[in-house]
Structure 1
Amino acid sequence: MTTHVVLGAGPVGRAVVASLTTRGITPAVVTRSGHAVPGATSRRADLTDPAAAAAAVADAEVVFQCAQPAYHRWPQEFRALQSRVIGAAAAAGALLVVAENVYGYGVVPGPLTEALPLSAETRKGQVRAQMWRDLSDAHRAGQVRVVAGRASDFFGPGVTASAVGARFFTPIVRGKPVPVAGDPDRRHTYTYVPDFGEALVRLSETPATWGRAWHVPNPATVTTREFAERAATLAAEPLRLRPVRPWQLRLLGTLVPAARETVEMLYQFDDDHVVDHTAYAAVLGDHATALDDALAATIAAYAAPLRPATR
């Protein structure tokens, strides 16, 4: 039986595990702490150590790379981390399935498609672009088989560190002002994280997709204001958006480094940011969850801790 190893136990890693378990597969999840994930076995490894990374995936036939450094450490650490993963997957002879985002394209007039050049000028966008080039080079050289799924800003149960994570949904379910950076009346594609996990698994199962990157399926693209309004309606709470200015993010960044790092990515929210997944849907189907269904599940997860305990 094929051995599946998932690197990282964040929202994307857990979504991959959930999709694998629906197929009767029990994967191994690798984290630095040995964190337990329901439906998976746990392995402890420091993926920045080449020997530890290789040992963690030595029996793997499929490796899902969903691990990442802290957001503000991407320029210093992310490419090196991926290099260790490439080496480990190559040594195991495993397929490497990589969770990516769309930062590498940079500022683009019109919808994002996979045919666009990776010409980002931001620091994190350049890191992402070079990381894909590293993956593509390794695949073309026959070092390791690679496929990647690219998501936009994602949301869903268990997603906290996102533009539409805890700082967005927690105030919605509490009827509090919702902080929003950028222009809320611009269209923005958001990825539902269970759909991201399912897409990565489908890519792993389909050799015809290997060797390139694909935009994963997303719910209908709406403005951030409409996204928030639909969520607030489902939460049965009033909605008030609170604008967050770049200078406020920089000020907050003196205490929270990740906040400072969001400033260079604000172009994605100051104009329309629409991600096209037509190419993926033509090959693997459009299994995107309807937006209201995805929001309902997210609201339910965030509202659960607020409900009175029953005796």
Structure 2
Amino acid sequence: MSELHIIFGTGPIGRAIAEELTMRGKTIRMVNRSGKMDEAPAGVEILAANLYDPAQVRQAAQGAAVVYQAAQPAYHQWIEKFPPLQQAILEGLTGSGAKLVLVENLYMYGATGGKPMTEDMPYQAHTRKGKLRAAMSNAAFEAHAAGKLRVTAGRGSDFFGPWGLGSTMGERVFYPLLAGKPANLVGNVDFPHTHTYTRDFARALVMLGERAEADGQAWHVPNDNPRITQREMVTLIAEAAGVEPKFSAMGKFMMMLGGLFIPEAKESVEMMYEFDQPFVADSSRFEQAFGVKATPIQEAIRETVAWYKSHPQAH
């Protein structure tokens, strides 16, 4: 039997990790609350478990070489539910022998005034979710330093790709464009804004799981053209889809209005700084250490357009 790799969470990044591991011939178990998954990757076991319970974490991860933590609560429940989720996972994996690969974002750095984000940049989060992400990352690496388990982390920016529906560069952009309508963007569309391709994110996370030199630190996953703007993204998507590039952009005030009715919109208001200044991730450290570059962005967009065409929007 091949090496067992376990993925907590069956969202877009979890799926992409499973696809990458399948190509590498690994045995894969995915874990979520229901034990069910639409269009589950072939040959992948789907297991139901409560990941807030360290005992169930331990049971679900039995025999694993690597565990990828891609599970998360609903966006509007992060503050209350994310820390106990991670704590249960850290406790459950302590002493198991499995290496933990965390799926992280860039919130912990806060507003950088447009300066590209690097791994050695201090955490200066000014938002609730940014401070939460910083505290959670610190807690995980403290567990690593204490010898409880091996931990590494891959950090991506706002992502796009197959199944990445809920992202800012997700279904609110691709489906309207494919229908000849304006894409729905956020904030200033002409500032550089790094976008991470889900398949590049997954490939990087799997590499971090394989490589001992990745342990004990966080890495920015590779991104092609990290200074691309939202306007340029829409132009490339429209080009790949053979349609006119059209968009509208929602500002902070409209997001606040939306937040009166939609919990996720309310939680997004504090993150609008990402779209009111350049938001650029520097992934050169990963690329130099592991000799890997991101998929060219035009190719990544073509693959994503093909996925959206093959998964028409449900009405």
Residue of structure 1 in register with 2:13 after alignment: 12
Residue of structure 2 in register with 1:260 after alignment: 266
How far apart, in 2, do the equivalents of 1:26 and 1:55 lie?
17
How far apart are residue 131 of structure 1 and its match? Answer: 0.5
Moved more, 227-236 or 245-254: 245-254
Residue of structure 2 in register with 1:127 after alignment: 132
How far apart, in 2, do the equivalents of 1:7 and 1:216 lie?
19
How far apart, in 2, do the equivalents of 1:163 and 1:28 lie?
29
Residue of structure 1 in register with 2:92 after alignment: 88
How far apart are residue 306 of structure 1 and its match? Answer: 5.0
How far apart are residue 2 of structure 1 and its match? Answer: 2.7
How far apart are residue 292 of structure 1 and its match? Answer: 0.4
Q: Does 1:158 align with 2:163?
A: yes
Deviations 1:43-85 (A, max 9, x none): 1101112222221112222111000000111111111100111
How far apart, in 1, do the equivalents of 2:301 and 2:45 lie?
30
Matches within 5 A, 1:267-278: 267-278=273-284
CA contact (8 A) 2:3 2:27 kept: no
Q: Which runs of 4+ in 1 moved over 4 A?
A: none
Q: Does 1:2 align with 2:3?
A: yes
Residue of structure 2 in register with 1:77 after alignment: 81
Number of residue equivalences: 307
How far apart are residue 263 of structure 1 and its match? Answer: 1.0
CA contact (8 A) 1:61 1:92 kept: no
How far apart, in 2, do the equivalents of 1:49 and 1:71 lie?
20
Q: Does 1:210 align with 2:235?
A: no
- Let me know the Cα RMSD of the aligned residues: 1.3
Matches within 5 A, 1:49-128: 49-109=53-113, 110-128=115-133
How far apart, in 2, do the equivalents of 1:102 and 1:306 lie?
31
Residue of structure 2 in register with 1:198 after alignment: 203
* AA matched with 1:298: T
Residue of structure 1 in register with 2:41 after alignment: 38
* Unaligned residue ranges in structure 1 (runs of 5+): none
CA contact (8 A) 1:6 1:65 kept: yes
How far apart, in 2, do the equivalents of 1:90 and 1:60 lie?
13
CA contact (8 A) 1:58 1:88 kept: no
How far apart, in 2, do the equivalents of 1:301 and 1:278 lie?
29
* AA matched with 1:206: R
How far apart, in 1, do the equivalents of 2:104 and 2:230 lie?
22
* Unaligned residue ranges in structure 2 (runs of 5+): none
User: What's the % identity of the aligned pairs?
Assistant: 41
Moved more, 124-133 or 171-180: 171-180
Out of 148, 173, 195, which is 2:178 matched to? 173
Residue of structure 2 in register with 1:294 after alignment: 300
CA contact (8 A) 1:175 1:237 kept: yes
Q: Does 1:281 align with 2:287?
A: yes
CA contact (8 A) 2:234 2:246 kept: no
Deviations 1:206-264 (A, max 9, x none): 10111000000012121110111110111111122212122221222233211111111
How far apart, in 2, do the equivalents of 1:47 and 1:91 lie?
17
* AA matched with 1:244: M
CA contact (8 A) 2:224 2:293 kept: no
Q: TM-score, normalised by structure 2?
A: 0.94
For residue 27 of structure 1, give the secondary structure of its aligned residue in structure 2. strand
How far apart, in 2, do the equivalents of 1:217 and 1:260 lie?
30
For residue 262 of structure 1, give the secondary structure of its aligned residue in structure 2. helix
* AA matched with 2:51: L
CA contact (8 A) 1:187 1:224 kept: yes
CA contact (8 A) 1:54 1:91 kept: no
Out of 232, 239, 244, which is 1:233 matched to? 239
How far apart, in 2, do the equivalents of 1:141 and 1:304 lie?
47
Moved more, 125-134 or 236-245: 236-245
